[in-house]
Amino acid sequence: MASTARIFGGRCRFLMAAAKSAAAAETSTATSEAPRKTAVRVTGILKVQTVSPALAEFIGSPETSRSGAVKKVWEYVKSHNLQNPANRREIFCDDKLKTIFDGKDKVDFPGIAKLLTNHFPKTA
């Protein structure tokens, strides 16, 4: 015990203390205050925003989140087999993708989110 006291600086009592029994835990949670309902504020890439007309036509909705837009692009790429077989991170753009990717012929996967930022409005 002396060695553990030296290691933990006398705080070993809390580490060695017995756990509360199940009955004691139930009574302490029953008497505690009920959890408060808080409104969840969605921000960042999960926030639904209006998008440019070109992206809205591609997605089929005038509003989406950034992650939702990337997901729709990825679904389109997979369904039309537009990945480069030699380099799976590279995507060949067809005419529909060129409208939202500034006319580029190839896009690497990490560049999708960067190119989609032009379609989301800047918030002040």
Average pLDDT, the chain: 81
Contacts of residue 93, Cβ cutoff 8 Å, sequence gap at least 6: 82, 101, 104, 105, 106, 107
pTM beyond cutoff 0.75? no
93, two tokens:
């753009």
Structural domain boundaries in the chain: 2-31, 44-119
Strand intervals (E) in 16-102: 49-50, 63-64, 90-92
Residue 17 to residues 4, 5, 21, 51, 96, Cα–Cα distance (Å): 14, 14, 12, 57, 65
**pLDDT at 93 > cutoff 90:** yes
pLDDT of residue 15: 56
The 10s digit of each residue's pLDDT in 12-48 is 555 556 666 666 656 555 555 566 667 778 788 888 9
pLDDT of residue 43: 80
8 Å CB contact between 51 and 69: yes
Question: Right CATH number for 44-119 from 1.10.630.10, 1.10.245.10, 2.40.50.220, 1.10.357.10?
Answer: 1.10.245.10
